[in-house]
Chain A
Amino acid sequence: MNKQEMQEFIAKRVALELQDGDLVNLGIGLPTLVANYVPENKDVLFQSENGFIGLGPSPEPDEIDPCIANAGAFPVTIVPGGSFFDSAMSFGIIRGGHVDTTVLGALQVAENGDIANYMIPGKMIPGMGGAMDLLSGAKKVIVAMEHTAKGNHKLLKECTLPLTAINAVDLIVTEMGVIEVTSKGFVLLELNPEYSLEQIKEATGADLIISEGLKPMA
C-alpha cells in the first residue's frame, strides 16, 4: 500500500466503529478522511471544535463561504439540522462528555493509554489546540495512525514525548491491525492479513496480547 491507500484503509476501518446517532469529532489529517466512509444507514453527526455540529463535505468552488471552515481552516459545509455556537459551548460539548467518539492522530501511544501528539521539544511545537480537551472529555478515543514512524515504534510501553493526556486512548487503528488498550496492555483484536503476527509484534514497542478471538482486519 502507498501512503494514501494506507490512510484510506485505516480511515475505512475506523468508520466501522461509529454508531448510529453518534456525535463525532475528527482530528485534522488522516482522521478527517473517516467522514468519507460512514455507512449510509448510520446517522452520524460531526462536531467541528471551532464552532458547529453538522460538519458537511467540501463545497463546490462557487459555493465557498469564508465563514464556514473546519478546524483546519478548510472550507466546508454544514448539513441540514446543524448548528453554530461559540468556543465556550463547543468545549462544553467536548469536556462535558457529549461527544461520543473522537478520532485523533498520535506521535506515540503507551500501553496504559497515555498519548503524545502535540509537540516534539526543540523541534516542533504546534500546540495542543483542542486535543487535550477532546482526550479528557470524549466518551471514546480512537487513535488512527500509521503503525510506525519511518520504522520507529509509536506504540510503546511508555511515551517519551510530552503527554497530551494520560490513560485516554481506547482503541488504535493502524494499517497493520486494530488494537484495544486494556488494563493489561495492548490487545490485538484484528490483524491485517497482509502482515504476519511476527511483523506486527516487531513493529510494536510494547507487549502485544493476542486476542483469543483474533480476526482478520477488514
Chain B
Amino acid sequence: MDKLINLQDAVNLVRDGDTIMVGGFLAVGTPERLIDALIEKGVKDLTLISNDTSFIDRGVGKMVVAKMFRKIYTSHVGTNKETGRQILEGEIEVVLVPQGTLIERIRAGGFGLGGVLTKTGLGTLVEEGKQLVEVDGEKYLLEKPLRANVALLYAEKADIKGNLTFHGATRNFNTYMGAAADISIVEAKEVVQIGELCPDEVIVPGVFVNYIVDGGAL
C-alpha cells in the first residue's frame, strides 16, 4: 500500500481535542510543513507531547503562539517566551517531564510496556503523585506510558511503505513517536520508491508509519 498523502489530507486527520506527539529537538528534525498546515487549518484544544516548545517562530513554538494547546507534556519550555507567559498567566497546563523519562514513556506507550522504572526525578517535584517501586533494595519511580491520537514526524527519506532514514541529529523523538500514536504522519524531505533504501540503512521500519507527506527541502 502506498502511504503517500497530500498535506491537506494529512492535517485533516488531526481533530480538535486530540493529543498529538510532534518530533524534533528545538525544531531540529521537526515537520515544519505539517505544523504550518495545521496552524492554517486552525485546530484547537490540543494536548501536545514534545521534547520542548521550540522558539516562537519555529516548529511547535508557532502552534503555542497560535494558542492551539490546552495542555503540554514536555521537558523544556525555556526557549519559548510565549509558553512561559501562558504558564504564568494560567492559560495552559504544562507537565514538565525529564527528557530521558519523556522518551521512555513514549517508548513504553508504543511498545506494549506498562511503564518504566527510573531513578531520574527521585526526591524532586517529578516524584509527586507517582508510585515508588523497590527492586532489589533500590528505589525507582514508576513512570507510566504516554500515547497520542496522532504523531507528526520528520525524516530525511521515506520510501512509500514508510521505511525511514535520518540525517544528523534529527532522529531525537521521531523514531519512537510513531509507535505510540494511533495514526502517524511523516513529513519526509525526500520520498523514494520501494527498493531505493537499503534495508541496512532503515532506522524506523515502515510498520510504525501510516502516512507520508512529501515535504521537500525546507
Contacts and interface: CB of A to CB of B under 8 A. Distances in A.
Contacts of A67: 28-29, 156, 167-170
Contacts of B76: 126-129
Nearest 10 A/B pairs, CB to CB: A126-B78, A91-B100, A67-B168, A166-B123, A133-B100, A73-B26, A86-B171, A127-B76, A132-B98, A86-B175
Interface string A162-188: 111110000000000000000000000
A29 to B, nearest CB: 11
A27 interface: no
B149 interface: no
Given A86-B171, A88-B175, A133 B99 contact: yes
Interface string B54-86: 010000000000000000001111110000100
Contacts of A128: 75-76, 96, 98-99, 126
Contacts of B118: 95, 136
Interface residues of A, number: 44
Contacts of A166: 122-124
A85 interface: yes
Contact of B79 (A50, A73, A124): A73
Interface string A124-162: 111111111100110000000000000000000000001
A72 to B, nearest CB: 7
Interface of A: 48-52, 65-69, 71-73, 78, 84-88, 90-91, 94-95, 114, 118-119, 122, 124-133, 136-137, 162-166
A87 B173 contact: yes
A163 to B, nearest CB: 5
B77 A136 contact: no
B166 interface: yes
13 contacts: A69-B28, A69-B169, A84-B169, A84-B171, A86-B175, A90-B100, A91-B103, A125-B78, A125-B96, A127-B52, A132-B101, A133-B99, A165-B123
B47 interface: no
A25 to B, nearest CB: 12
B90 to A, nearest CB: 11
B168 A162 contact: no
B96 A127 contact: yes
Given A73-B28, A86-B174, A133-B101, A163 B75 contact: no
B126 A132 contact: yes
Contacts of B175: 86-88
A46 to B, nearest CB: 13
B157 interface: no
Contacts of A132: 98-101, 120-121, 124, 126
Given A125-B77, A126-B78, A136-B122, A91 B84 contact: no
Given A86-B176, A166-B122, 4 more contacts: A50-B28, A118-B96, A125-B87, A129-B99
Q: Which of B55, B104, B123, B169 is packed against the most chain A CB atoms within 10 Å?
A: B169
A50 B172 contact: yes
Contacts of B170: 51, 67
